[in-house]
Amino acid sequence: MEIWINPRCGKCRTALGELDAAGADYTVRRYLDEPPTAAELTEVLGRLGLEPWDVARLDEAVAKELGLRSWGREDADRARWTAAMAAHPALIQRPIITADDGYTVIGRTPDALKDVLAH
């Protein structure tokens, strides 16, 4: 299992605590220090069944600077969004947890954490 975290994020710390309590074997990726590529983001989004704009943190300062709220949300816009998220990983919702079988969640809720631990 792999978890993408920002150590300053409360939801990330909660997810780590839940994984530890469950005895899960996992690898931590501090995605601000080791940003995912656009290709990795595209793969993760496919596993999540979400679009890049669905997992973008629109209230981040860089999102405001880029004007993300006004960006298109069509098929042709995906590459622009994923490129921005790869260049500015603070835009990515967290924590993202991928189980060994590829099942992936955004671990912000107890239900999402339970789901990924079941895999």
Question: Strand (E) positions, the chain?
Answer: 2-5, 27-30, 96-98, 104-106
Residue 24's φ and ψ, nearest 5 degrees, are -70, 145
Q: Is 12 a catalytic residue?
A: no
Which one of 1, 4, 9, 63 is the catalytic residue? 9
Residue for token digits 């671990």? 107
Q: Contact at 8 Å (CB) between 103 and 119? A: yes
Residues in the chain: 119
Give the catalytic positions in this structure: 9
